Copies of this chain bind each other. A is one copy, B any other.
Amino acid sequence: MTDSILFSPVPVGRAGEEVALQLEAAILSEKIMPGESLPSERELQVQFGTGRGVIREAIRALKQKGLIEIRKGAKGGAYVKKIEVANVSESLGLFLKQNRIDTNELAEFRESIDRTITMLAITRGTVEQKLELVEASARLKTFLAEEEPDLNRLGELDRELNIMLARMTANPIFEWIMCAMQLGFSSHDYALYEDAEFRRNTIVNWCTTAGHIAAGDLLQALSSIGAHYILLRQCVAKRQTAAVKDQAV
């Protein structure tokens, strides 16, 4: 980082915003590559011709965006890092939480994605991946016997299955989208699994789905996917009527 005139001084008013924008631009345009670090706060302070507080707030914003990682001590500073899925997931999660997305709308979206993923997974998934999918779904069956299973653990496995399937598309975008959705909406899924019947049917359905995918049977796999979302919608409807009844009492 030997930049003499990389950043231009900022006048007044929304200085913090300006600084953040300039730093972000420098990062995104790869003037500063991942792994490198921005100048120290005290140096930026003079480069921008502003107070240190302004710099700190800008840095904070970038950190929040997931663009940088901050280390203390000598050779510390703001290191540019690659954005992780977790960032977009958190953002998505907050959005979904505040906007109380209707479960049916979410199901609709997931179903459409799942169908595409299934098609691609059958076409492109390797034999090893398909085998792993079957094994992972088989592990779900251990939850069938238990009276009061660990729902967190179950949700975890379910999430892994979804992501595993998405990875088989050999297109990272599907994997990211799936990760984001899973992370952003895990709480909902857990709640559904409280229903023993839904739990049982879904687990069984996962296994048949995995089998069809491994066998390369596209049509039957899609049918299974459809069946999953029928189950899901039924369960949601059941819970909603139950909730209404609770409210009435």
Contact = CB atoms under 8 A, between A and B. Distances in A.
Interface of A: 16, 28, 53, 56-57, 60-61, 63-67, 82-83, 85, 87-88, 91-92, 94-95, 97-99, 101, 105-106, 108-109, 112-113, 116, 120, 171-174, 176-177, 180
A13 to B, nearest CB: 10
Given A83-B94, A85-B95, A109-B173, 11 more contacts: A28-B97, A56-B57, A60-B61, A66-B94, A67-B94, A87-B95, A99-B172, A101-B173, A105-B173, A109-B174, A112-B112
Contacts of A65: 64, 91, 94
Nearest to A91: B91
Determine the main DSSP class of A at the interface with B: helix
Contacts of A171: 105, 108-109
Nearest to A174: B109
Closest 4 CB pairs of A and B: A91-B91, A112-B116, A64-B64, A109-B173
Contact of A88 (B67, B88, B105): B88
Nearest to A184: B88
A36 to B, nearest CB: 14
Contacts of A28: 94, 97-98
Contact of A172 (B97, B101, B172): B101
Contacts of A116: 112
Given A109-B173, A172-B101, A16 B94 contact: no
